[in-house]
Amino acid sequence: MLNRLLTQRGLCCVLVCAGTGCATIEFSKPPRVPDVVVTKPLEDANQHVSPPALDPAKVPPADDAAPVPGEALNLTVEGAIVIALANNKALAVEEVNPAIQRTFVSEQRSVFDPVLNAAYVETDDENERDLLLRTPITIPDGQGGTITAGSAWQPVETEVETDSESRSVGVTQRLPTGTDITLTYGKDRTVVRNKSTDPRRVYGTDTDTDTHSLDFTVRQQLLRGGGLGVNLASLRQAKLAALASEYNLRGFTEDLVSQVEQTYWDCLTAQRQIKIFEDSLTIAENQAKEIGYRIEIGGMAESESAAADAEVAQRKSSLIDAKSNYDTLRIALLRLLNPNAESLHPVELNLLSDPKIPEVELIDISASIALARRMRPDLNQTRLQIQQDDLEVVRTRNGLLPQLDVFVTLSKSENKTHYSELFLVNTQVEDDDNVTTQIGAEFSYPFGNRGPRARYIRSTMTRSRNLLALANLNQLVEQDIRTAHIEVDRAKQQIEATAVTSRLQQTTLDVEREKLRQGKSTVLLVSQAQRDLLTAQINEVQAIAAYLKALVNLYRLEGSLLERRGVACPGSEPIDLASEDESLATASAGATTPAPVSKTEGALPQ
């Protein structure tokens, strides 16, 4: 009957503990490294109009694009982004961080996991005693009886052997309400055996005792440590930290895509500059030959050859610098792409994208600022940090309370003891049933409570500091967006201006050459016109690349670059901070007192 009762009660309590824990804390999933991939272009007409986004169907796979060391790499700007997302080593490092952060979530959730406890103890104890007992000395009296003639000390040796075994198994469950539930079943067996050299005078009782017990304890923290808010604070903070790592990954990915695009256009510009310098060197060498021929036939003074030769030397020097600049940019681009194991080995780049002027209709600056304030990963990270600060304030404020715990313990035990007198046939069996109920409370409070108070003040000041940081970051975002719009407008206007300058400088050079043929100009003036044309041509090429780079930088500062390029990355959802405007206004006003704690409970699933 007892065994059945123990089994039923134990099974019910275990199910209640496990079920309560699972109902409060969801099952954990193994951490997974997020994938940053190209999906499909953004097609929402309400979004900011941008150059055509990446189309995965038109981009060759990264493995197919990987060149053999020493061979040329055919590369479009879209293909460069795809290769970088697949192979960049720094991105591979950053992709692991969210999975690492999610392990902290599992660690915090494990606090509420049921814990199985089991123990087994075996004890062997031997106790030996040497006794001296006074024994009477008897002699026959001759009549068939005895008389006592005195007494003498007789040694007696005794030994008691005690063998005991203790077994216990139990389950402990910590609930998010601050409740600890413990269920323990124990079984003990004790065997006592006595030995004596004079069992008629010194003897003991041999016993076999079996004990079964079932203990059920519930302990509830009423003040400090009580309630869902304080007990789930660490878990929710871990979830927010894991979410913040996804926004950090997003920010890094946006920077990587921006670097790839800008470095691509820099490489293409450098290639075109090399072509311009090579053409200008050819023109300068032909001009030097023509001047040398005129000097030979007496059409020019020999002093004119120095200017022509100097122009050739300057063109060669500029060409050397241009090639060196291109090689540096090429290595930087190859490191970002990492197309194979020997990425930095000399590989020629065939850059296939044409730097066309895209048809872009920029949205209003105020709308662009609003978009950046919602989408920027750094802003969302700061908002998540403030939410973690809110939870820390809740946790440390609870620490100001005294420790007051109440507990209830229900115990039922059964002792069955078998007594056997040494060398006797008589035996006795005794059964003992015992039911115990304990109800109590424990209270503690440190004098001064300085530690918890200091932690609470620190948490409130940290929250106020981060609110000020968020206000400052919002202002920096507005500055970034306004500056980026100015740069886009400037770069766009420079395209037409440099094109006009290049055409006029070409006309000026043609005029000076004609004057030189007629003897009305000098080689120095022609060389100056050639340098001006060269500068104008380079500026024209740079203006288009600067405009494309300015657009990319604007989209990065808006936080919309990945959507515009069709890249799927965690952290795309904006974070809404409760009462952000009021909190920012309070923080901007220079308030030094702790700001009110916003309610964050329920923002994350329990």
CB 170 within 8 A of CB 152: no
Q: How far apart are CA 495 and CA 543, in angstroms?
A: 5
Q: Residue 484: is its pLDDT beyond 90?
A: yes
Q: How far is CA 500 from the centre of its chain?
A: 52
554, 586, 567, 547: which is closest to 367 by C-alpha? 554
Distant-in-sequence, close-in-space partners of 435: CB < 8 Å, separation ≥ 6: 411, 412
Judge whether 556 and 258 are in contact, CB under 8 Å. yes
Mean pLDDT of 487-508: 87
Report the pLDDT value the prediction gives residue 542, as an integer from 0 to 100. Answer: 84
CA distances from 52 to 77, 125, 219, 546 (A): 12, 86, 63, 18
Round the CA-based radius of gyration of the chain to a whole number and report it: 44
Dihedrals phi, psi of 370, to nearest 5 degrees: -60, -40
The Cα–Cα gap between 303 and 307 comes to 8
pLDDT over 70 at 451, yes or no: yes
Residues 6+ apart with CB under 8 A from 118: 168, 169, 170
Instruction: Give the Cβ contact number of residue 431 at 10 Å.
Output: 9
Compute the distance between CA of residue 219 and CA of residue 180 in angstroms, rounded to an integer. 5
Cα distance between residue 201 and residue 132, in whole Å: 12
**Assigned fold of 31-108+255-396+451-588:** Outer membrane efflux proteins (OEP) (1.20.1600)
pLDDT band for position 38 (cuts 50, 70, 90): low
Q: Which of 1-10, 142-151, 266-275 has the highest mean pLDDT?
A: 266-275
pLDDT digits (tens, 9 = 90+) for 570-580: 998 999 887 56
pLDDT-based confidence at residue 100 (cuts at 50, 70, 90): very high
Report CA-CA distances (Å) from 8 to 1, 329, 543.
11, 75, 83
Of the candidates 87, 92, 94, the one whose C-alpha atom is nearest the C-alpha of residue 337 is: 87
Compute how many other C-beta atoms are within 10 angstroms of the C-beta atom of residue 453. 13
- pLDDT number for residue 16: 46
H-only helix segments in 376-519: 377-398, 450-517
Does 50 have pLDDT greater than 50? no
Q: Where does residue 73 fall: left (phi above 0), alpha (psi -120 to 50 degrees), or beta otherwise?
A: beta
* pLDDT tops 50 at residue 338: yes
* Range 4-7, long-range pairs (CB < 8 A, 24+ positions): 6/185, 6/212, 6/214, 6/412
Q: What's the confidence (pLDDT) of residue 528?
A: 78
The tokens describing 530, both together, are: 């050639």
With H, G, I as helix, E, B as strand and everything else as coil, classify residue 41: coil
According to the model, what pLDDT value does residue 29 have? 52
Task: Rank 10-24, 38-52, 112-126, 283-297 by mean pLDDT and report only the highest.
Answer: 112-126
CA distance 431 to 209: 10
- 601 pLDDT band (50/70/90 cuts)? very low
Q: Which amino acid is at 112?
A: F
Query: Residue 389: how many CA atoms within 13 Å on its side-chain side?
Result: 24
Average pLDDT value over all residues in the chain? 81
Q: Which of 16-20, 195-199, 314-318 has the lowest mean pLDDT?
A: 16-20
Helix (H) or strand (E) holding 49: none
Residue 361: pLDDT band (50, 70, 90) is confident
439 SS3 class: strand
Pull the structure tokens for residue 456: 């609470």
Q: Which of 230-234, 406-410, 528-532 has the lowest mean pLDDT?
A: 528-532
Instruction: Break the chain into its structural domains and give their ranges.
Output: 2-22+120-174+179-224+403-444, 31-108+255-396+451-588
Instruction: Read off the tokens for 160.
Output: 């008691």
> Are the C-beta atoms of residues 225 and 46 closer than 8 Å to each other?
no
In the predicted structure, residue 454 carries a pLDDT above the cut 80: yes
The tokens for 247 are 């926004």
pLDDT band, very low/low/confident/very high, at 336 (cuts 50, 70, 90): very high
pLDDT at 581: 62
**Considering the entire predicted model, what is its pTM?**
0.76
Beta-carbon contacts of residue 79 (< 8 Å; ≥ 6 apart)? 59, 60, 65
Q: Decide if pLDDT at 62 tops 50.
A: no
266: pLDDT strictly greater than 50:
yes
3-state DSSP assignment of residue 452: helix
Q: 166 pLDDT exceeds 90?
A: yes
Q: What are the two backbone dihedrals, phi and then psi, of residue 570, each rounded to the nearest 5 degrees? A: -60, 160
The candidate with the shortest Cα–Cα distance to 65, out of 52, 80, 51, 53, is: 80
Percent of the chain at pLDDT > 70 equals 80
Find tokens 């190859």 and name the residue: 334
